[in-house]
Amino acid sequence: MPDQTTSASARKLAFIHTVSGLVSEFEGLAKEHMPGWKPFAILDESLLR
C-alpha cells in the first residue's frame, strides 16, 4: 500500500500566514492531525496593515 503522505495524489492544504513564526507550527499540526495531506504555506505580513 503506497504511503499517502508522499503520494502524487496526496491532498494539499494551504495555510495563509501573517506571522512567519507560525509556519512550522501549523505544518507540524497538519502532519500530525491530517495524515495524507500535504501542507504548504503562503506568508504575507502585509495583510496585517
What single letter denotes the amino acid at residue 5?
T
pLDDT for res 22: 93
pLDDT for res 1: 46
**Domain assignments of the chain as residue spans, ordered by start:** 1-35
Instruction: Tell me if the pTM is above 0.75.
Output: no
3-state secondary structure (DSSP) of residue 31: helix
Place of cell 496593515: 49
pLDDT for res 30: 96
pLDDT per residue of the chain (49 residues) written in tens, 0 to 9? 455 555 567 899 999 999 999 999 999 999 999 999 999 999 999 999 8
Torsion over CA: 26, 30, 31, 33 (sign): positive
Cα angle vertex 16, ends 49, 46, to 5°? 20
Mean pLDDT of the chain: 87
Burial bucket for residue 13 (CB in 10 Å: 0-12, 13-18, 19+):
middle
